[in-house]
Amino acid sequence: MFDLKADPAWRPLLHLSRLSLGSGQQQEAEVSLQHEGSAPLKVLARTRLAAPQGIGEDSLCVLFLQDQRQAEARLRTEKLASMGRMSTAVAHEIRNPLAAIAQANALLAEDLSDPKQLRLTNMVGQNAKRLEKIVDDILNVARARGANFSERDALHGLSEAVYKIARDWAQQHGQTGMIGFEIDPAVHSVRFDHDHLRQVMVNLLDNAHRYASRHLEAIQITVTYGDEVALVSIWSDGARMDQTVERHLFEPFFSSESRSSGLGLYISRELCERHSATLTYQRNSRIRDSQLHEGNEFMLTLTRLTSSMSAESDHNTPWQASLY
């Protein structure tokens, strides 16, 4: 026996129970349960009302919970089976003629002097590069599925790695004042490859930058540790997503941007799953300019390694999380 009101993580279930008792009808909804130090758990919750046990007694509300992770994993597997082989084969077939088009266009541009004609060859070149990136993204999906974790891929010193990746990204984009940090400086090892972490973080930072304001600390990065997991959060003060966008956020080839391949978040989640990690989205609030602002938060939940697989801890780290 426990009280649903005692833990904030159970509030979605408490709300659904009250709604069912208040309306006298059965309810069904997908809810996200998140306990402190743990990844969000998405469940399908159903309520059933039981008759009072006696005169003057209250009705009982029975909750049935179904873990949605298995159903979502099965759907993703079916999608991969149906479109993975086809998209990879198409990408291979496109790559050779695309390279020929790009090379011929470059040779043609060398012999032209008319500004109008040069603008046309420039358009061809830009779109060829865009197609090349789409082809690379498709092939990266296959590489992500084939990646296997080994002990040598362990990432030692997650906090420092996250900070350096974000710092490099900020310097390359000229946005050193845009990122705020709240990073636990403890040295812990996680089950993740460094290059894959960079790929995931750069994609999340690119997305955050696209929709965030240009205020100081409009993007905020936090790193915290639980007993068994490490949590990396990338938050930005962008506007709320449309529900249709949020519903298909991690699906391949889905994008709200006409010039995007729609594979960035999909590949990022695939890479996370290869390393027994999760990538989730939620709407959350953070303090910016001394005021509370709503924003979009992507949460990486990584598996911490045992002490036998970790590097020695040293809490006196030589780096400081400052871009100034």
pLDDT computed for residue 92 by the predictor: 78
pLDDT computed for residue 109 by the predictor: 92
Q: How far is CA 262 from the centre of its chain?
A: 13
pLDDT computed for residue 122 by the predictor: 93
Task: Tell me whether residue 89 is exposed, middle or buried, using C-beta atoms within 10 angstroms of its C-beta: 0 to 12, 13 to 18, 19 or more.
Answer: exposed
What does the alpha-carbon distance between residue 323 and residue 166 come to, in Å, rounded to a whole number?
A: 10
pLDDT computed for residue 147 by the predictor: 54
pLDDT digits (tens, 9 = 90+) for 34-66: 877 777 788 889 999 887 766 667 778 899 988
Question: 0.75 exceeded by the pTM?
Answer: no
The highest-level CATH class for domain 151-303 is: alpha beta
What does the alpha-carbon distance between residue 249 and residue 124 come to, in Å, rounded to a whole number?
A: 30
Q: Checking DSSP bridges between strand 179-183 and strand 155-156, what pairing results, if any?
A: unpaired
Task: Give the SS3 label for residue 35.
Answer: coil
Q: Which residues of the chain have pLDDT under 50?
A: 308, 311-316, 318, 323-324
What does the alpha-carbon distance between residue 37 and residue 23 come to, in Å, rounded to a whole number?
A: 35
pLDDT computed for residue 323 by the predictor: 45
The DSSP H or E segment spanning 194 is helix 194-211
Whether residue 232 contacts residue 299, with contact meaning beta carbons closer than 8 Å, is answered with yes
pLDDT computed for residue 8 by the predictor: 84
pLDDT computed for residue 30 by the predictor: 85
pLDDT computed for residue 225 by the predictor: 96
pLDDT computed for residue 324 by the predictor: 41
